[in-house]
Amino acid sequence: MEIFSLKNEIKEYILIKKREGKKIGLVPTMGFLHEGHCQLIRKARSECEIVVLSIFVNPTQFGPSEDFNKYPRDFQRDKSMAIKEGVDIIFCPEAKEMYGENSLAYVDIKKISKVMCGKFRPGHFRGVCSVVLKLFNIIMPDAAYFGLKDYQQYLIIKKMVEDLDLNIEVFGCETVREKDGLAMSSRNKYLSESQRENSLVLYHSLNLAAKNLIEKKKSIQAIKKQSRQMLEENKYVNKIDYFDIRNADDLSNLSAYKQKASKILIASAIYIGKTRLIDNIAILI
């Protein structure tokens, strides 16, 4: 396995592989890998000849009061896992290498970046789009793999690739969950034992809404209210950023049931103590 921290060095290496006609797959991460990341790597491994894992805790996607500094990092552990999963290249630049002294360009997406997490984390998706586009230009992948736990991010990246005419296939891979249902996330590490137990309420509130939506007995508004209530009743839930029911294709609000079967996204972001957790499920009704 090769490890690069300089843009020019990995570019040069990748260009050789591309000239040989090798298919390049990229799994962009912020490190502190878990089984969710591993499944992305496995999917890339099964489809591509060269698998690149990028590890970069991107400062521009964190707000000033967010957890950039304390975001968990453990390169040695990530490296061992990457070797085990058969990664070919790790790209782990420093922020200074990534952005230089005076970076002025950015990419953003209208509409779909302004709702849900975009509403509560202003500038977050601008930071995500810009760094992912940079990674795409540095690593020149044929395919890139994202986890559907971050469904909005996946949709935004897919739209960016389409709108900017990039030649990259974007794959969204199913959320990987702990045995009890909690979506895997590097941030789960922040949770105390009792917080960890109670964090399950997030997944339960989504499932409650899904069950209600499938039954079609209550209005969308009433369904949202009931799930919100479940969250509010748990004393470990410090704050609810949102509990939304939206069209999964364009994140527009779903205010009433549709006649035609369509894919619906149920998504929520809550704080357990100081830890912000997000989760979602998509259903066809």
| Contact pick of 134, 196, 224, 246 for a second copy (by CB under 8 A) | 134
Separation of alpha carbons 243 and 227, rounded Å: 8
Give the pairing type, strands 143-147 and 169-173: parallel
Is residue 105 close enough to count as binding a second copy by CB under 8 A? yes
Q: Which stretch binds a second copy (CB under 8 A): 32-40, 128-136, 146-154, 254-262?
A: 128-136
CB-based contacts of 247: which residues, under 8 Å, 6+ apart? Answer: 253, 254, 262, 263, 264, 265
Separation of alpha carbons 146 and 142, rounded Å: 14
DSSP 8-state class, residue 61: G
Is residue 104 close enough to count as binding a second copy by CB under 8 A? yes
Is residue 100 close enough to count as binding a second copy by CB under 8 A? yes
Give the per-residue contact string, 11-30, with a second copy (x = CB under 8 A; - = no). Answer: x-------x-x---------
Which amino acid, one-letter code, is at 140?
M
Of 150 and 279, the one with the shorter C-beta distance to a second copy is 150
> Residues 160 to 219: which contact a second copy by CB under 8 A?
160, 162-167
Of 109 and 206, the one with the shorter C-beta distance to a second copy is 109
DSSP 8-state class, residue 182: P
Q: Which stretch binds a second copy (CB under 8 A): 33-41, 134-142, 173-181, 202-210?
A: 134-142
Contact 248, 126 (CB under 8 A): no
Whole-number minimum distance, CB 161 to a second copy, in Å?
Answer: 9
34 a catalytic residue = no
Separation of alpha carbons 215 and 208, rounded Å: 11
Q: Which stretch binds a second copy (CB under 8 A): 157-165, 179-187, 235-243, 268-276?
A: 157-165
Separation of alpha carbons 273 and 239, rounded Å: 8
Whole-number minimum distance, CB 131 to a second copy, in Å?
Answer: 10
Whole-number minimum distance, CB 3 to a second copy, in Å?
Answer: 19
Whole-number minimum distance, CB 186 to a second copy, in Å?
Answer: 25
Q: Which stretch binds a second copy (CB under 8 A): 51-59, 132-140, 198-206, 253-261?
A: 132-140
Q: Which residue has the tokens 């499932």?
A: 207
Whole-number minimum distance, CB 167 to a second copy, in Å?
Answer: 7
The 10 Å Cβ neighbour count of residue 231 is 19
Separation of alpha carbons 148 and 128, rounded Å: 15
Of 32 and 146, the one with the shorter C-beta distance to a second copy is 146
User: For the stretch 18-50, what's the b/e string if a residue is b when 16 or more beta carbons lie within 10 angstroms of its beta carbon?
Assistant: eeeeeebbbbbbbbbbbebbbbbbbbbbeebeb
Task: Give the residue numbers marked as catalytic.
Answer: 37
Footprint of a second copy on this chain (CB under 8 A)? 7, 11, 19, 21, 99-100, 103-112, 129-130, 133-134, 137-138, 159-160, 162-167
